[in-house]
């Protein structure tokens, strides 16, 4: 529905610098996307009125170059900066790592007026964001995402969390950042597999809310993968604007609007739980989960098989998996019972109605879910 897409794009808030403005009950913040924007980190943070010291907590793989650059930018903004290298992955996004970070802050007497800066991928942002949400009952946080997944998805919206053995992100909080700064240059050193995983979340935005963006991803896959020209920056900005628009409208995921962003995530989280964190990158699991969700939608008569195959082609053009291996369908179904979108034990499934159009359904028969899951397992 082109008119619907046009209307949606007109409501997405951007300032003259092409930064997306996200409006929440915890305050409004800017999401700045571009090349070399990390050099303005300290000055942009000053514009928010933030005082105190900066505690830069970064994935150790970003040392020394990118972290030093961010530290120098913070110091140019007048912030006394302390730096922690964090060995972090989905497998240790847990209470033990949380304690390590909190002990580091305690040793340095971090105060409520200070700011925590999370630099790294989505896992880093999740954990460090949760630290900020709980340290002294809440301190300011800035996100400097360096993975594509974190840029287009997890760094925006205030979701934070850590894993428990029973499931992913079961311990978490909504804690909105003061600023999100996304330097596309950080993506140039990402391994191809991690880049592909990030594109899954961006393609998702086109599938659920922006048919024109989906067309762009379909048409420009080689340029996107190579980060050539203006296309990747524009695509990331548009994905960010979509996420920002939805977060502004449904901050705490109480309605059906924000839950649309979880397209593919019910099965994705189940795959991650059953396979063991780290076997599949989050974006890879989301790609497989979107295929399962499309399978549910076509079995319910909501979409035709042509859209299912189009989705498959687009995902595979970004080198994403569309099937999972050596997993048990019943175990996947059982793992969905812990899904955070459940209400009264019933899952709210996010399903497509057409390109750029998604809705939620609660009345999905168990046998339909089982068939769709079996279809994406090999």
Residues labelled as active-site residues: 137, 159, 201, 243, 253, 257, 262, 265, 269, 282
178 and 199 assigned to the same domain:
no
214 and 355 assigned to the same domain:
yes
Residue 14: inside a domain:
no
Question: What residue has token string 């993975």?
Answer: 147
144 and 262 assigned to the same domain:
no
Query: What is the distance, to the nearest Å, from the Cα of residue 37 to the centroid of all Cα atoms in its chain?
Result: 20
Number of H helices, E strands in the chain: 15, 11
358 and 213 assigned to the same domain:
yes
Q: Dihedrals φ, ψ of 241, to 5°?
A: -65, -40
CATH number for the domain harbouring residue 84: 3.40.50.1970
Q: What is the CA radius of gyration of the chain?
A: 20
Q: Helix, strand or coil for residue 144?
A: strand
Number of domains in the chain: 2
79 and 181 assigned to the same domain:
yes
Strand order in the sheet with 20-24: 20-24, 27-34, 179-183, 140-145, 115-120, 54-59, 81-86
Residue 23: inside a domain:
no
Structure tokens at 236: 């990331």
126 and 240 assigned to the same domain:
no
184 and 213 assigned to the same domain:
no
pLDDT tens for the chain, residues 1 to 378: 444 444 344 345 655 467 999 999 999 999 999 999 999 999 999 999 999 999 999 999 999 999 999 999 999 999 999 999 999 998 999 999 999 999 999 999 999 999 999 999 999 999 999 999 999 999 999 999 999 999 999 999 999 999 999 888 999 999 999 999 999 999 999 999 999 999 999 999 999 999 999 999 999 999 999 999 999 999 999 999 999 999 999 999 888 888 999 999 999 999 999 998 779 999 999 999 999 999 999 999 999 999 999 999 999 999 999 999 999 999 999 999 876 556 567 899 999 999 999 999 999 999 999 999 999 998
353 and 208 assigned to the same domain:
yes
Q: Which domain holds residue 79?
A: 36-189
232 and 90 assigned to the same domain:
no
Say if CB 181 and CB 44 are below 8 A apart.
Answer: yes
Using CA atoms, how far apart are residues 292 and 64, in angstroms rounded to an integer? 41
CATH number for the domain harbouring residue 308: 1.20.1090.10
Residue 15: inside a domain:
no
Cross-strand bridge partners of residue 351? 359
């Amino acid at each position: 529905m082109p008119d619907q897409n046009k209307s949606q794009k007109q409501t997405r808030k951007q300032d003259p610098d092409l930064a997306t403005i996200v409006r929440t009950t915890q305050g409004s913040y800017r999401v700045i996307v571009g090349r070399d924007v990390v050099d303005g980190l300290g000055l942009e943070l000053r514009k928010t009125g933030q005082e105190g010291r900066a505690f830069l907590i970064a994935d150790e793989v970003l040392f020394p170059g990118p972290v030093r650059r961010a530290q120098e930018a913070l110091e140019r903004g007048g912030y006394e900066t302390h730096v922690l290298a964090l060995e972090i992955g989905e497998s240790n996004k847990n209470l033990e790592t949380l304690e390590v970070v909190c002990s580091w802050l305690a040793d340095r007497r971090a105060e409520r007026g200070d700011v925590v800066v999370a630099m790294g991928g989505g896992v880093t942002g999740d954990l460090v964001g949760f630290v900020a949400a709980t340290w002294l009952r809440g301190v300011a946080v800035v996100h400097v995402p360096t993975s594509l997944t974190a840029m287009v998805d997890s760094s925006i919206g205030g979701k934070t969390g850590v894993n428990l053995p029973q499931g992913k992100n079961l311990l978490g909080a909504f804690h909105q950042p003061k600023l999100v700064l996304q330097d596309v240059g950080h993506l140039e050193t990402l391994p191809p597999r991690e880049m592909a995983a990030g594109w899954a979340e961006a393609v998702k935005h086109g599938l659920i809310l922006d048919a024109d963006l989906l067309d762009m991803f379909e048409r420009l896959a080689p340029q996107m993968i190579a980060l050539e020209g203006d296309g990747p920056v524009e695509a990331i900005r548009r994905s960010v604007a979509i996420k920002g628009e939805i977060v502004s409208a449904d901050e705490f995921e109480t309605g059906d609007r924000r839950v649309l962003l979880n397209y593919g995530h019910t099965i994705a989280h189940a795959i991650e739980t059953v396979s063991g964190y780290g076997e599949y990158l989050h974006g890879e699991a989301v790609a497989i989960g979107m295929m399962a969700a499309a399978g549910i939608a076509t079995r319910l008569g909501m979409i035709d098989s042509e859209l299912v195959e189009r989705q498959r082609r687009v995902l595979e053009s970004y080198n994403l998996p569309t099937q999972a291996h050596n997993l048990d369908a019943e175990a996947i179904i059982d793992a969905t019972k812990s899904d955070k979108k459940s209400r009264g034990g019933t899952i709210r499934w996010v399903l497509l109605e057409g390109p750029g159009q998604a809705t939620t359904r609660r009345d999905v028969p168990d046998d339909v879910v089982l068939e769709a899951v079996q279809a994406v397992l090999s």
